[in-house]
Structure 1
Amino acid sequence: MRHRYQGFTTLNMSTPRIRKLFVILILGTAVIFVLTGLFAMIQAKRTAHSTDLGRVTAHFSTETLLYLMGGEIPYLSTMEKAAEAPGFSRFFFEMATSIDPKDPRTFLGSELPGFALFDTEIVVAGEGVDYTSVPIESPPPSDLQKEITEDRKEKEQKREEEEKKQKEEEREQEKGSEEKKQASKTPDKVFIYHTHFTESFLPELEADQPNGAYDPKVNITRVGNRLGKDLEKLGIGAQVHDEGYQAEWNKMYQASRKTVVEAMKKNDDLHYFIDLHRDSQRREKTTTEINGKNYARVAFVVGTAHPHWEKNEQLARKMHKKLDELYPGLSKGVFRKSRAMGNGEYNQSLSPNSMLVEVGGVDNSFEETFRTTEALARALAEVHFQAVPVDKKQ
């Protein structure tokens, strides 16, 4: 009810209508929180895996986590960041919105390019690595699809001609003995493929901008072929799939998944599956000098959007550790990415020995990446032969 008093208008907040409005607002807010909580409980699994715990704790700031854990671990409550209790209002706010009031990045992370990098988890950091060094994925120009289609037609014609020649040569070479056939080749243990096969390197092209580091012919597949040869030299058979995919950028992993599944069906000996990529970071983040020579740095990306990602991470950790022993500073480390940061699965659910490996960046050359493939092959060989019993080594 409104009243005028000496030129001022007053509003009576104690009327039944106003009180009813406030009660409705409070109850409405409570219902929203309850429904949000019920929805989260329905979506959650009955057993809490480490991935689930990670998703929950990722919503809280450092101060809130330290305060909560301090109840069980007294030492943590003595730390400076846990000195003050965050309060229940802040606790529920962080849980419901994933926003830390003291960190502006959490307000803008999903809206501004580059802020999503802070969502990538650095599991193991290599020398000089921080969040500015996190591997970046960027799509190629849209007009590149036409070139890919034309190039694929040329490759199919060449393949048909090569198959005809190969059949003729096989007919002429039937003189070989059974012993030579058995000892001709070691079983393939590694399958190398390239989901983003057009990723290339500026020094090898006539482009000078990062968005021009894509090519349907001169690209990351050459690095994969070199890695296959380096593995063969060390006694590990490798099969390299260097063909492209006629698919949109956001459907590339679906296309490459079919390739991996087909390879697994045809060859039971395949043990490791490596998806080779090129990072979009610039030279200072992707290059290191070892014994006076420049190497393209390596990064291992683990997708957490499947139940058994921890097994993939174990292999990535082993590879990082071995590279760090043999070539200090070459590995940038191990990085986790969830569904929120892209594909999040990266075909790694197909095998516990699946790896997504970033080799170099847009400013590296083939010479630098080839030095890296030699190092990568050596590290994988040592990891493999250490894990295989002596009587089964091949």
Structure 2
Amino acid sequence: MNQSTIFGVMLRVFITLSLGTLTMFLMLSIGSYTQSKMVTSPIVSMQGLGTSVSSQFFVDMMAVEIPQMKSGLNSTTFSQKNVLNFLFRYVTSINPNDPKSLLASEVPGLALEKVVLLRGGSDKDDIVEPLDLPPTHFDFKANNDNNPQKIDPIIETQPQEDEQTIESGSSDDELNVGEDEQKSGFSEKQSDKVAANGNPLVFIYHSHNRESWLPESGQVYDGETNVTALGKRLEKSLKNLGIVAVSSDRDYEESVEGYNWNFSYKYSLKTVEEAFAVNPTFNYFIDIHRDSQGREVTTINIDGVNYAKFYFIIGASNPNWRANEAFATKIHDAMETQYPGISRGIWSKSSTDGNGEYNQSFSPNSIVIEVGGVENTIEESNRTIDLLAKVLSDVVWEAEKVDTGVGG
């Protein structure tokens, strides 16, 4: 075989390999573009999909290039079948190993994942799912086996528009100034007062306004001592930093006729809509809750001082969830940079494990923040609120000139 023949063979092999590589990258690019256009839920995004694949799969993937990572004791999970399954799920959001996934996007209740971690905190060994339990009172000293916290979490649904009627805000709502004012609970008089000090930018509210703490009230839900105090604290802290904020302490259990816990987010959406109608300059909507996990999960010690941990919830039913997650990520990253371990991450919930939307389609800057848990104190939670206020004010100052399309 002469040199020209050998050169021709090598050239054909080179061209074939080059075309094969180019084709593979083109297929991956097309798949990524298609997936980005088709996926409307964080649970079936690359982030959500990555959390559903075992960590060993990624270790084995790296071991292909790093021989030292291979183990002779375990069989590899990085096989052609697993890779094809992974790529197929990535592009189609269908799990080949479970036919139910074919119908999951069309039939309510068939979704496989409920709570998905989109972005974890710096403490990778402390990943505990959010726990949202219904209103229940119990003895702080009761035996754990009889503790009502052990009951199944309630599933909050989005009712039809004609299922409930929302009355005006409670008389205790600081945004109300009397029965003769607007039914919305946001009077023109109050609006003028706020606007006179600068454009109100941040609206703080509480879909579960009675969430409380055992060390403070002796019960997990209370009409007097509850998370509305955190909203007021955040409002005050933001104002001290030059950001005009307004918080609502509306008590839905008192102000809504025929109150039903399952419709909490419908009630709070009405509050958000009323607030925005009075002050269209509102750009950021913060719904503050507290988690139902115990103290060992929800507390961190920083320089000898206890703080309540926090996390974000992103609604999987919101088709524009990426914008809300981007907003949450700015706060999460800044907090984790300054106070590593204080954030429990950004989680996504589908309608199978919660409301699924959380009013977040109203604005790309609408988020749910869960601060602390049932066994934290107000003091610990307030410390975290003050840190959040500083970071949130920085984010607002940086982004305020951007058109966010609120309510659109």
> TM-score by structure 2 length?
0.62
Match of residue 85, structure 1, among 61, 65, 81? 81
**TM-fit CA distance, 1:155:** 5.4
For 1:94, give the aligned amino acid. Answer: N
Give yes or no for contact 1:296–1:360 (8 Å, CA) kept in 2: yes
Aligned position for 2:245: 238
**TM-fit CA distance, 1:268:** 1.3
For 2:171, give the aligned amino acid. Answer: E
**TM-fit CA distance, 1:51:** 3.1
**TM-fit CA distance, 1:189:** 0.6
Q: Which runs of 5+ in 1 are unaligned?
A: 1-44, 100-109, 111-115, 144-151, 167-180
Are positions 1:226 and 2:233 aligned together? yes
Identical counterparts, % of pairs? 37
**TM-fit CA distance, 1:190:** 0.4
**Mapping of 1:321-332 within 5 angstroms?**
321-332=333-344
CA 1:280–1:82: 2 relative to 1, 3 Å = same
Match of residue 270, structure 2, among 244, 253, 258? 258
Are positions 1:94 and 2:97 aligned together? yes
Other structure's SS at 1:351 match = coil
For 1:128, give the aligned amino acid. Answer: D
**TM-fit CA distance, 1:62:** 3.3
**TM-fit CA distance, 1:83:** 2.9
Give yes or no for contact 1:304–1:338 (8 Å, CA) kept in 2: yes
Are positions 1:338 and 2:350 aligned together? yes
**TM-fit CA distance, 1:125:** 1.1
**Mapping of 1:258-337 within 5 angstroms?**
258-337=270-349
CA 1:66–1:97: 2 relative to 1, 3 Å = farther
CA 1:302–1:131: 2 relative to 1, 3 Å = farther
Other structure's SS at 2:355 match = coil
Give distance in 2, aligned partners of 1:216 and 1:239.
Answer: 20
Give yes or no for contact 1:322–1:383 (8 Å, CA) kept in 2: no
**TM-fit CA distance, 1:162:** 6.2
CA 1:85–1:213: 2 relative to 1, 3 Å = same
CA 1:81–1:363: 2 relative to 1, 3 Å = same
Give yes or no for contact 2:170–2:251 (8 Å, CA) kept in 1: no
**Mapping of 1:128-147 within 5 angstroms?**
128=123, 133-141=128-136
CA RMSD of the aligned region, Å? 4.3
Q: Deviations over 1:323-354 (max 9, x none)?
A: 11222222111111122221110000000000
**TM-fit CA distance, 1:119:** 3.6
Give distance in 1, aligned partners of 2:372 and 2:175.
Answer: 34
CA 1:133–1:60: 2 relative to 1, 3 Å = closer
Give distance in 2, aligned partners of 1:260 and 1:82.
Answer: 48
Aligned position for 2:171: 156
Higher RCO, Cα 8 Å, sep 6+? 2
**Mapping of 1:109-258 within 5 angstroms?**
119-128=114-123, 133-141=128-136, 156=171, 163=178, 185-205=197-217, 207=218, 212-245=219-252, 246=256, 247-258=259-270
Give distance in 2, aligned partners of 1:82 and 1:289.
Answer: 40
**TM-fit CA distance, 1:59:** 12
**TM-fit CA distance, 1:282:** 0.5
Give distance in 1, aligned partners of 2:352 and 2:289.
Answer: 20
Other structure's SS at 2:226 match = coil
Give distance in 2, aligned partners of 1:312 and 1:203.
Answer: 33
For 2:133, give the aligned amino acid. Answer: S
Give distance in 2, aligned partners of 1:200 and 1:362.
Answer: 7
Give yes or no for contact 2:43–2:348 (8 Å, CA) kept in 1: no
CA 1:182–1:343: 2 relative to 1, 3 Å = closer
Give yes or no for contact 1:60–1:95 (8 Å, CA) kept in 2: no
Match of residue 39, structure 2, among 37, 44, 49? 49
**TM-fit CA distance, 1:236:** 0.3
CA 1:244–1:48: 2 relative to 1, 3 Å = same
Q: Deviations over 1:181-202 (max 9, x none)?
A: 8995122110000001110011
Give yes or no for contact 2:202–2:245 (8 Å, CA) kept in 1: yes
Q: Which runs of 5+ in 2 are unaligned?
A: 1-34, 71-75, 89-94, 103-108, 139-166, 182-192, 403-408
Q: Deviations over 1:261-286 (max 9, x none)?
A: 11111111101000000000110111
**Mapping of 1:66-77 within 5 angstroms?**
none
Q: Deviations over 1:159-180 (max 9, x none)?
A: 899649x9xxxxxxxxxxxxxx
Give distance in 2, aligned partners of 1:126 and 1:59.
Answer: 16
Give distance in 1, aligned partners of 2:222 and 2:216.
Answer: 10
Q: Which moved more, 1:297-306 or 1:121-130?
A: 121-130
For 2:53, give the aligned amino acid. Answer: T
Could you say which structure has the larger radius of gyration?
A: 1
**TM-fit CA distance, 1:81:** 1.1
Give yes or no for contact 2:40–2:320 (8 Å, CA) kept in 1: no
**TM-fit CA distance, 1:157:** 8.1
Other structure's SS at 2:224 match = coil
For 1:223, give the aligned amino acid. Answer: L
Give distance in 2, aligned partners of 1:355 and 1:369.
Answer: 18
Aligned position for 2:378: 366
